[in-house]
Structure 1
């Protein structure tokens, strides 16, 4: 399988996942899980996936000042938006 085909498969998988996220979220939140529980579940699953992938990647040093910016940006860029999205549904 060549690299271009692998890239197309990755794009298709990402689009299917993104397309299914709203209907799945809409079905889960009122009956199965609270909005904050759903957000916590997504954060934990994402952290596990990134940790697993990161264990195979080369390690890089991060300046403490940049680490603070990454944490604040991650909070507002992911946690806050996902929680507001879940609450809106």
Structure 2
């Protein structure tokens, strides 16, 4: 675990870069709270990863402002989800 004043904080790990901790959450719970709020309120986790609903009903995280995936349109959060409206892979 990282030592110092940011010990226990959570940062963002980008696909082709190392971890980013400048705007880290103070704890994992704060990160999870932000992730949980995005479907209802919109916005982006860590200011960069936004939630969308793909054309096939799957939830999709992508860069803020993305408009399509695999040539199909994306609907940005906030999502007015109803049971049976989306799918998730485990």
TM-score between both structures, scaled by the size of structure 1: 0.25
Pick the structure with greater CA Rg: 1
Higher helix share: 1
The structure, 1 or 2, with the larger RCO (C-alpha pairs under 8 Å, 6+ apart) is: 1
Higher strand share: 2
